[in-house]
Amino acid sequence: MTALNNRYEFVLLFDIKDGNPNGDPDAGNMPRLDPETNQGLVTDVCLKRKIRNYVELTQGDNAGYAIYMQEKAVLNNQNKLAYEAQGLKHVAKKLPNKAEQAQSLTKFMCDQFFDVRTFGAVMSTEVNTGTVRGAVQIAFARSIDPVFPQEISITRMAVTNEKDVEKERTMGRKHIIPYGLYRVHGFISAALAEKTGFSEEDLELLWKSLTEMFEHDHSAARGEMASQKLIIFKHADKLGSAPAHKLFDLIKVTAKNPDVPARHFSDYNVEINPENVSINGVEIIDYANV
């Protein structure tokens, strides 16, 4: 594995058409909204789930690319793997007293699980293998413009219970937004990558995940959801050469015709303006323009 020697930030633009990118269980599974602006939201947890699913799908049983936070996984059982590999016995909720043994447990988890060394994990449960602060952090995604959720009535020709067999049909509802273009910011720390073992090979897999994760996540609620553009800021060294927020300000996404509702990615202009701020030592990479 090649060590990571550069700090990175990135901007990912993705969109959805006639679907629900991230339902809110506290609001009847309606698309998440900022109530003050009506901009759509997608949580970091939602996006990291899709990255995990992509890595699990593409890497399979490759050593070092297991996923810690799997669906229906028992995390204490995952943690026990570290104790078994090190030949240690766990004491409830405690790490070994010897620092080198405790560190070896946490290192095993980083080496074994892609998402632990990438996003970090709190593994101080009943079977304690420590806490890891991940090299990669992802913010909430926010739509460029306000979105307008719609509640669509649907019918089902079958019934659930035999007592309802005489009913002609049953009714249901689903929530969609006609179109939304979302923007999310991400941060990659080379200093934290050094501690977790997140490598250049892991980084390349992360880029592929961000651009291809929706291709393997199509469903009735997300039939047309796609990554549209990934812009990467690569710093010259581990500490970086410019504040992240100033780099993000270089990327301007605006509607071509604000008076007409957008219904496609081509309805927006995406501009990269490096001349607006001094960014000596930062390379801008247009990684994907799907």
What is the per-residue pLDDT across 137-154, written as a single tens digit (0 to 9) for each?
999 999 999 999 998 888
- CB 284, CB 242: distance < 8 Å: no
Task: Flag the least confident range among 11-15, 37-41, 57-61, 248-252.
Answer: 57-61
pLDDT for the residue 155: 80
Q: How many other CB atoms are there within 10 angstroms of residue 91's CB atom? A: 11
Average pLDDT over residues 239-257: 94
pLDDT at 71 over 50: yes
282 inside domain: yes
3-state secondary structure the chain: CCECCCCEEEEEEEEEEEECCCEEHHHCCEECECCCCCEEEECHHHHHHHHHHHHHHHHCCCCCCECCCCCCCCHHHHHHHHHHHHCCCCECCECCCCHHHHHHHHHHHHHHEHHHHHHEEEEECCCEEEEEECCEEECCEEEEEECCCEEEEEEECCCCCHHHCCCCCEEEEEEEEEEEEEEEEEEECHHHHHHHCCEHHHHHHHHHHHHHHHHHCCCCCCCEEEEEEEEEEEECCCCCCCCHHHHHCCEEEEECCCCCCCCCHHHEEEEECHHHCCCCCEEEEEEEEC
207 inside domain: yes
Residue 51: which domain range?
8-152+174-288
274 inside domain: yes
Note the pLDDT tens digit of each residue in 158-188.
777 777 777 766 777 889 999 999 999 999 9
169 inside domain: no
pLDDT for the residue 280: 78
Note the pLDDT tens digit of each residue in 79-112.
999 999 999 999 999 999 999 999 999 999 999 9
Query: Percent of the chain scored above 70 by pLDDT?
Result: 97
Does the pTM exceed 0.75? Answer: yes
pLDDT for the residue 153: 83
Average per-residue pLDDT in the chain? 92
Q: Which residue has the tokens 């599974």?
A: 29
Note the pLDDT tens digit of each residue in 182-212.
999 999 999 999 999 999 999 999 999 999 9
pLDDT at 72 over 80: yes
Total domains present in the chain:
1
281 inside domain: yes
Query: Percent of the chain scored above 90 by pLDDT?
Result: 80
94 inside domain: yes
